[in-house]
Structure 1
Amino acid sequence: MDVGAGTLATAPPIGSVEWLRWLWGFGVVRAAVAALVVAAGVVLSKFLVRLLGRPVARRFQRQSVAQTVLGLLRVSTVMAATLIAASMVGLGIGDIVLSVTVFSAVLGIVLAPIVGSVITGLFVLADNPYEIGDMIELEDGRRGFVDDITIRYTKILTLDNTFLVVPNAQMRERDVTNFSAEDERTRLSIPLLVTYEGDIDTARSLMERAARNCEGVIEGGPDIRIGSARYPAKPTCMIGDYADSGVRLVLRFWVRTPYKIPRIESTVREHIRENLDDVDVEIAYPHQHLLFDETSGRARVAVEDGSRPTPDRDDAPATRTAEAEGVADPNGSGSTPE
């Protein structure tokens, strides 16, 4: 009777609240329930993101800010579930805060760059230098579309179909050109050096026509306003400079979208070259004319077959002197002594 009574005394009470308390006394059970709570928190965070995704997107016009808010909501939900699970296994809020503080202090130096990127990411979201979907150009010349903006990095899909992930700390220090900030219309400039002997007015009109006949170029219309200034929408060719070897012309034109700038520039250059072939306009190249006078000595000039004339004996000293002072090459050019 005593053995049976001892067995009944140690058996768990069935069908009562005491049975649940007795079962909760096992650490394995508490750990399993805590894991279920964390899993439920993850599922709940995804459900909240789907439920509040559209209202948050309507509330915030910027997609990057909306994604950041939804990300914080998901992280907060998971963290709350984790704190509840930790309290179930016997960890108090004070213990968790102390552990996190010590862990953060130990890894503070190691995580300093990441923390800096996070803080800079908040400034990037606040300053709004670019937005998801904008076409930007970095200072090294690489162009692409902003694919994602987080509080740690910016992901760029380049025009070469490759991903470029740049920490926000570096993005804030770089010079970034945004082609899609407010108005996608972009003005381009193509310089061209023509000779002084050519018809400058004809060259300017042909360059303007070459741009107008290119697809993607704005042919004309109302002036385009930038700030308080207004610029003509049609292609315009102006004289940029009177250089040493020719007149530098600058063709300025507007494109509707910045997505195919290299192709449009190449097409405009092809049209310019084709139009200039039929008129009295030549593309200049750097060249110089070297002149000899009575102060430059005597220059020896080769004959047509390339042989050098043999100087007379009487002229030998004078020829050697001329050679020392300046000698022309077989093509007729020479050098002037300094």
Structure 2
Amino acid sequence: MQSAGSTWFFLQKTTDTGVDLSRANEWLPFTVPDWSLDLLAVGVVVLVAWSVSRLLVRLFSRRIARSFRRPSLTRLSIRGIRVGVFGFALLTILRIFGFSLGDITLQVTVLTAVLGVILAPIVSSVVSGVFLLADQPYEIGDMVELADRDQRGFVEDITLRYTKIFTLDNTFLVIPNGTIRERDVINYSAEDPRTRRSIPVVVTYESDVSAARDCIEGAARRVDGVIEGGPNIRVGAARYPAGPTCYIDEFGDHGVRLVLRYWIEEPYKLLATRSRVQTAIREAIADIDVEIAYPHSHLLFDDTSGELRVRQEASGTSPADRPAETDGDASPEPPS
């Protein structure tokens, strides 16, 4: 008796022609095992599914990219096409082995309920992935920073389960979406890649503060990558000068604290640009009457500070030969 797989592979019975194709072994000069026909049918289904998925992706990938204009949604849609094709192929394979559609639906329902309890964290990540794709806090290619880890990188991929970040240290971070939604993520590439940075500079009270401010602004303006000037940059409802600006922040214990604010064109070399700006400031200040302040302390003693007694002992003197200590201002008698 032929199995359901071999019957399906030979198109079962053709009622139009009245030919019973299930008896395929009678047509062949040798006997073919039923399980080999089933495996051959499975291989054909997988091959066809793979070919169809590649064809559909090639036909619709550009149209999908033009429709969404977001790399994350484009990749998700392409993955959906592949999953749909192979899901249909899986149903076909189950039919080969004799499973009816009702049995498949029942088993899928039971399996989904069991996995929903066991795989709750994964389900949570998938739900969070849907919200991430809808809220758009970041996109593929954006430079982001994890505030709690002080680590920057580029978003490499966004799926329904996780977000992959390619760090500036040439490593990968794979963070579940359920976790990353609870963390503070700084996006340096959102809307406008221009980023403002600040550098504190403390000068002494004896320095010419006005000359120091002008010198610091000019030094920062000459650094490559720093925006020299131009129209004000809009941040929300406020507008800020595009060129470097130096303000008096506070009068500290050791000097006047100045703060330089400058905008950089791209946020990809924050540390290198900051280093160049600080180097330019140091070289520029050395040519004017301005001195960088640093913490220092002075200890002063006067008549009201009390007395400090000092006793010098000869080297090699044993403790028994040392003069006895006395209280008050009395001095020990000299030895006879």
Q: TM-score range by the shorter chain?
A: 0.7 to 0.9
2:176 to 164, 167, 173: 167
Aligned residue for 2:323? none
Contact 1:216 1:256 in 2 (8 A): yes
Aligned residue for 1:96? 104
Tell me, yes or no, if structure 1 residue 83 matches structure 2 residue 91.
yes
Aligned residue for 1:181? 190
Give, in whole Å, the separation in 1 of the partners of 2:328 and 2:293.
42
SS state at 1:21 partner: coil
Give, in whole Å, the separation in 2 of the partners of 1:319 and 1:295.
21
Deviation at 1:93, TM superposition (A): 1.8
Deviation at 1:132, TM superposition (A): 0.8
Tell me, yes or no, if structure 1 residue 71 matches structure 2 residue 113.
no
Per the normalisation by structure 2, the TM-score is 0.80
Aligned residue for 1:23? 24
Paired residue total = 292
Aligned residue for 1:248? 257
Change over 3 Å in CA distance of 1:145–1:198 after alignment to 2: same
Aligned residue for 1:271? 280
Deviation at 1:42, TM superposition (A): 2.2
- Per-residue CA deviations over 1:299-322 (Å, capped at 9, x if unaligned) read 689xxxxxxxxxxxxxx95699xx
- Per-residue CA deviations over 1:62-90 (Å, capped at 9, x if unaligned) read 11011101111110111012212222321
Contact 1:216 1:264 in 2 (8 A): yes
Runs of 4 or more above 6 Å deviation: none
Deviation at 1:117, TM superposition (A): 1.1
Which sections of structure 1, spanning at least 5 residues, go unmatched?
1-15, 302-315, 321-338
Deviation at 1:26, TM superposition (A): 4.1
Give, in whole Å, the separation in 2 of the partners of 1:214 and 1:110.
56
- Following superposition of structure 1 onto structure 2, how do residues 302-321 of structure 1 map, counting pairs within 5 Å? none
Give, in whole Å, the separation in 1 of the partners of 2:234 and 2:204.
34
For 2:218, give the aligned amino acid.
Answer: R
- Following superposition of structure 1 onto structure 2, how do residues 28-47 of structure 1 map, counting pairs within 5 Å? 28-47=36-55
Which sections of structure 2, spanning at least 5 residues, go unmatched?
1-16, 26-32, 311-326, 332-336
Give the fraction of aligned pairs with identical amino acids, expressed as a percent. 53
SS state at 2:21 partner: helix
Tell me, yes or no, if structure 1 residue 136 matches structure 2 residue 144.
yes
Deviation at 1:293, TM superposition (A): 4.8
For 2:129, give the aligned amino acid.
Answer: G
Tell me, yes or no, if structure 1 residue 119 matches structure 2 residue 127.
yes
Change over 3 Å in CA distance of 1:300–1:290 after alignment to 2: farther
Question: Which moved further from structure 2: 250-259 or 194-203?
Answer: 194-203
Tell me, yes or no, if structure 1 residue 285 matches structure 2 residue 294.
yes
SS state at 2:247 partner: strand
Tell me, yes or no, if structure 1 residue 220 matches structure 2 residue 229.
yes
